[in-house]
Chains A and B, each alone.
Chain A
Amino acid sequence: MKVIDASGMHYKDLNAMIKQLIKNNTSEILVKNVQGQRYIGDGIGRNCKVIIEGTPGNDMAAYMDGATIVVHGNAQDGVANTMNDGKVVIHGNAGDILGYAMRGGEVYIKGDVGYRVGIHMKEYLDKKPVIVIGGKAGAFLGEYMAGGIIILLGLNVNDTQKIVGNYCGTGMHGGVIYSRIPIDSYKLGKEVKQAQAEDDDMEIISSYVKNFSDYFGFDYRSIMDRPFVKIYPYNHRPYGNLYAY
């Protein structure tokens, strides 16, 4: 394992250093004292684990294509922006637009996330992006979502009012959001409906919750001790009737 002390470093130098190590086939990199440096892990590929201590800046793991990033701390905005493959594990909270247009891979957040998380998520054939949120989410969760899975656990709330902000699933036309706590219908976008998760849904949920519990040391069974709901779109053509031909 290689260790980098990021203290006082410019993001360009830090990221060039990380990329160089990956190029030299380093399989694990520990980056200490991260102080808000942006774009960590942008576009990096397979077979590498980057462990971050501190607070990474915006657009961490953007366009990432197969690596693993573990953050011991909070992450800022734009985590996993347009991420293609790989895994991000955040032992803290994360900011806005996490997983924008994410196309593959998995992101696990121990705590809360900000606004517009999972916006424009997409799936194609076997590529299915997954976001698991341990805490609560801000407004516009899954906006314009076109594919993939968001699992919202709300482990730190017990109140339907607080698990997610308004306009959840607005413009959604693909994919699914699972929530451990039912969502008040006034908070849902008009393109989605809510129903009890069924057996095959629970199968999907349980495999990701299992990972979540392993990463963050939660008790798997107590998370799964209640039924989940699913939020999914009425159809794949939300604006099919908008135009005069």
Chain B
Amino acid sequence: MAISLLTPEFIIERNDERCIRCQVCVRQCANLAHIYDEEEDRVLADDSKCVNCHRCVTLCPTRAITIRKNPLEFKENANWTASAIREIYKQAETGGILLTGMGNDKPYPVYWDRMLINASQVTNPSIDPLREPMELKTFLGRKPEMLKVENGKLKEKLPPQLELEVPIMFSAMSFGSISFNACQALAMAASELGIMYNTGEGGLHKDLRKYGKNTIVQVASGRFGVDPEYLNAGAAIEIKIGQGAKPGIGGHLPGEKVTAQISQTRMIPLGSDAISPAPHHDIYSIEDLRQLIFSLKEATDYQKPVAVKIAAVHNVAAICSGIARAGADIIVIDGFRGGTGAAPLRIRDNVGIPIEFALAAVDTRLRQEGIRSQVSLVCAGGIRNSADVIKAIALGADAVYIGQAALIAMGCHMCQKCYTGKCNWGIATQDPNLVKRLNPEIGARRLVNLIKAWAHEMKEMLGGMGINAIESLRGNRFMLRGIGLTSRELDILGIKAAGE
């Protein structure tokens, strides 16, 4: 075989004085980057196999291991960067489409970081959330045009609503892309927090049906695991049209990941590829989307809100207007930084638009058309902290989805190698020896901690603005100011510049 031109991306440094030859690193590395040499009684490293996931670093009892970026530099070139050259080598060697995992990591502007939040001074007193009630509760679903009340009671039944204690949900991650233990941790945490998690398009494992009240079940083009029981198992149904990490393309779960449990949950044979093409072949228009929405409503007796999830793309505002008119109760917009278990690198890094613009444009358009109240807006794709959530809600979101942040809470180190199925943290893998590294109870505890901490921070920020309910922040763009943005960008975001 010809020599590979690819040099290792990382180098593993081992402090031999500290190393006690316990071989934890050897046993922990699914990529086989650590090797124990019995004759020499030494632990060696194969740098080329290291993905820099920090599993060995974290578990080494004597802190003997450090992973560094390989300092080997190509001749400096602003156009032909090291990654540009390495990607060509890889494709020249394999002839394949480059794959990656998690969200877009390119240095595009992060608009969340170019918006600042207001606070009250003197004229409108701020509120101390530690002493005064502060409401984060959120209802997602279609709201009626008007409420008719008779004898103190609602005259007509409200359309079905999802009740969230905090306007944050765990976004769609299928059993297949992530492990059963990761799914269970998300389900347990959602249940404890009074929020929702989303099954993704891989069906619902029978052991997770008990978390139904906090489950959104997803229907995508491959319809994996979709039967009447599944549709009725959750609190809402989400139709997946697109995903921010890979707008316009579908998903392939490779046959080697279709284990016995996955085959049972997806209802497909063992070892068979699970193919979800980009289009639903029964949806070629807004009218067809309406048909799928209403076929799902008919099959569930109009008891569950139906959400439609799309990737943020160029004409997102017009598309969302169509989706609202097609009868969706909730629209989910996933920005170009949204995560994924596997996506072609070129698509992830070059297709779609930032969620901040998409969200502002959609909210503005639906208001202009007088249909904003007919539908709830959920935004997703790269939400990193509670300030991003506050900014999203001020721009017009009813709630947000978090995926990558939730995985990081469970132990993900963002090595972006989810597609290999060798996740050393037991998250993006189906290997039973790796899966058991993630304890669902501990995972759930960490997720609960994260959301509770964010909720506290959100209350502090709301109190600072003199607002005591998240409802009063929704679409309240006066609470945001732009910094370092062009006037065109400010217009699209619908906010003033800092100082105005």
Q: Which residues of A contact B (CB under 8 A)?
A: 11-12, 15, 19, 38-39, 42-43, 45, 58-59, 62-63, 65, 77-78, 81-82, 84, 97, 100-101, 103, 116, 119-120, 122-124, 127, 143-144, 146-147, 171, 173-174, 236-245
Contact = CB atoms under 8 A, between A and B. Distances in A.
A146 B275 contact: yes
Nearest to A144: B275
Interface string B92-105: 01111111000000
A15 B297 CA distance: 12
Contact of B98 (A19, A42, A116, A244): A244
Contacts of B267: 103, 122, 124, 127
A43 B231 contact: yes
B40 interface: no
Contacts of B221: 120
B96 A119 contact: no
A237 B273 contact: yes
A237 B97 CA distance: 16
A244 B97 contact: yes
29 contacts: A12-B298, A15-B298, A38-B294, A38-B295, A38-B298, A39-B294, A42-B295, A43-B300, A58-B291, A62-B295, A62-B298, A65-B228, A78-B291, A82-B227, A84-B227, A120-B281, A122-B224, A123-B268, A123-B269, A124-B264, A127-B267, A144-B275, A146-B268, A236-B269, A236-B273, A239-B273, A242-B96, A244-B96, A245-B94
Contacts of A245: 94, 96, 99, 419-420
A127 B419 CA distance: 30
B286 to A, nearest CB: 15
Contact of A124 (B91, B269, B344): B269
B277 interface: yes
A173 B252 CA distance: 12
Given A100-B223, A147-B269, A243 B99 contact: yes
A236 B419 CA distance: 19
Interface string B33-56: 000000000000000000000000
Given A43-B298, A122-B224, 18 more contacts: A12-B298, A38-B294, A42-B295, A59-B291, A63-B231, A65-B227, A97-B281, A101-B222, A122-B268, A143-B281, A171-B277, A174-B272, A237-B273, A238-B275, A241-B96, A242-B252, A244-B90, A244-B98
A243 B269 contact: no
B272 A43 contact: no
Interface of B: 90-91, 93-99, 221-224, 226-228, 231, 252, 254-255, 263-264, 267-269, 271-273, 275, 277, 281-282, 291, 294-295, 298-301, 344, 419-420
B227 A103 contact: yes
A237 B254 contact: yes
Contact of A146 (B93, B97, B272, B301): B272
Contacts of A103: 227, 267
Nearest to A103: B267
Contacts of B272: 146, 173-174, 236-237
Contact of B268 (A43, A100, A124): A124
Contacts of B95: 244
A63 B90 CA distance: 44
A78 B282 contact: yes
A16 to B, nearest CB: 8
Q: Which of B223, B252, B264, B282 has the most CB of A within 10 A?
A: B282
A240 B252 CA distance: 9
Contact of A244 (B99, B226, B271): B99
Contacts of A100: 223, 281-282
A123 B267 CA distance: 7
Nearest to A83: B227
A100 B222 CA distance: 9
